[in-house]
């Protein structure tokens, strides 16, 4: 079953008014930053490279910077109950607060975004240290999620002013290289609103559209549109639930997260078999893929370079499009609430998002929903 895929050059005849170089980092607001940082170091193999907190004259929070390949996460916890971070965690649980976008000119990005309808949260400001200057501004997006614009070409430190370098907390890399895409869940009827936001405010174009007929099982369904920026480096699928016989995974997320938010982050690897094997051995739990999936996979996909038995053993899904194929798998939620999870993905030329795997993925998620009593 093919998805609707639009070539970016055909979709963008006008100059890009919002040049974005990529996702600089993703900031999570959590209940305990130290423990969360060690979790991602031990299980996922991230290095803990920098810290900010009372010891660096930051009085209201503690933050740890995690890095593997070109992926940078920041985990932040409040130091008091009056903090907006503490309120965010009380309402949503651990989750993504800020997807930070790297730009050349923060003032231009913020002015364009707010002029086109974005709600400004923090106007452009400069952060200085002996290593130079970083400029930053922030706008609101779906739910309590935000996007900050970050300009760091005048800065030569390890992360940002206010952080100190950590040289001793190395993880054992699992081979994760970059962020492939970040998926947001919004309420029923709100997907097109946020598609228009990314198009009109940030200059994104629609790369793909999945209908509820394509993304459904006997019980549940969703609708999704994939937005990408002008360079194609930043991809944000937006999901909304679709009516079905039972509660969809999107609605379950919205109920437990108490509103819209980031559902999952897809992490790119060059060796999915090695990455997933390492993660499983360390205790990362992945969704169980029904055995029936693999009885049909060879005929549906054709030849692949990877070992079929290893793909089946590790529960890896495979899909093909006009440009090649991809391999992907999905973790269980990373926290007690059934909200944020991760995808591990390897691309062998394919530009899609695994539409041929959606039914098997949904059935695996529904199995977990049934165990939680939420289907």
The Cα 30–Cα 90 span in angstroms is 9
pLDDT of residue 23 exceeding 70, the answer is yes
3-state secondary structure of 40: helix
Of 129, 145, 169, the residue at which a domain comes to its end is: 169
Parent domain of 66: 22-169
CB within 8 Å of 9: residues ≥ 6 apart: none
In this predicted structure, what is the pLDDT of residue 1?
Answer: 35
Counted domains in the chain: 2
Let me know whether 202 and 145 are in one domain. Answer: no
Band of the pLDDT at 294, cuts 50, 70, 90? confident
The Cα 155–Cα 101 span in angstroms is 16
pLDDT, mean over the chain:
90
pTM: 0.92
Band of the pLDDT at 374, cuts 50, 70, 90? confident
The Cα 248–Cα 219 span in angstroms is 8
Let me know whether 133 and 241 are in one domain. Answer: no
Mean pLDDT over residues 149-166, rounded? 93
The Cα 345–Cα 272 span in angstroms is 7
Q: What pLDDT digit, counting tens, does each position of 271-283 carry?
A: 999 999 999 999 9
Let me know whether 191 and 250 are in one domain. Answer: yes
Phi, psi of 229 (to 5 degrees): -80, 180
Q: For 42, which DSSP code?
A: I
Q: What pLDDT digit, counting tens, does each position of 53-79 carry?
A: 999 999 999 999 999 999 999 999 999
């Amino acid at each position: 079953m093919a998805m609707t895929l639009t070539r970016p050059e055909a979709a963008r005849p006008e100059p890009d008014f919002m040049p974005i170089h990529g996702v600089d980092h993703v900031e999570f607001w959590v209940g305990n930053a130290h423990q969360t940082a060690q979790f991602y170091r031990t299980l996922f193999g991230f290095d803990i490279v920098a810290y900010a907190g009372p010891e660096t004259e930051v009085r209201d929070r503690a933050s740890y910077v995690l890095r593997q390949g070109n992926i940078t996460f920041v985990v932040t916890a409040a130091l008091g109950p009056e903090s907006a971070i503490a309120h965010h965690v009380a309402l949503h649980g651990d989750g993504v607060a800020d997807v930070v976008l790297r730009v050349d000119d923060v003032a231009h990005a913020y002015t364009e975004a707010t002029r086109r309808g974005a709600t400004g949260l923090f106007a452009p400001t400069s952060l200085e240290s002996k290593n130079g200057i970083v400029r930053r501004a922030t706008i609101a997006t779906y739910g309590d999620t935000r996007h900050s614009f970050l300009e760091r070409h005048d800065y030569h430190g390890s992360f940002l002013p206010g952080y100190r370098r950590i040289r001793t907390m190395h993880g054992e890399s699992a081979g994760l290289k970059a962020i492939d895409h970040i998926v947001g869940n919004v309420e029923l009827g709100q997907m097109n609103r946020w598609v228009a936001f990314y198009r009109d405010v940030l200059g994104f174009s629609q790369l793909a559209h999945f209908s509820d007929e394509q993304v459904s099982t006997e019980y549940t369904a969703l609708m999704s549109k994939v937005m990408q920026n002008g360079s194609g480096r930043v991809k944000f699928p937006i999901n909304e639930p679709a009516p079905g016989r039972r509660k969809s995974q999107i609605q379950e997320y919205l109920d437990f997260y108490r509103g819209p938010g980031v559902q999952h982050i897809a992490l790119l690897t060059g060796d999915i078999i090695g990455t997933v094997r390492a993660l499983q051995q360390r205790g990362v739990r992945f969704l169980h893929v029904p055995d029936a999936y693999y009885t049909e996979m060879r005929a549906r996909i054709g030849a692949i370079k990877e070992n079929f038995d290893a793909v089946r053993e590790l529960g890896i899904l495979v899909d093909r499009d006009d440009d090649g194929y991809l391999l992907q798998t999905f973790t269980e939620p990373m926290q007690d609430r059934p909200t944020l999870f991760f995808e591990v993905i390897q691309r062998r030329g394919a530009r899609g998002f695994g539409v041929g795997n959606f039914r098997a993925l949904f059935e695996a998620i529904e199995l977990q929903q049934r165990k939680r009593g939420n289907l």
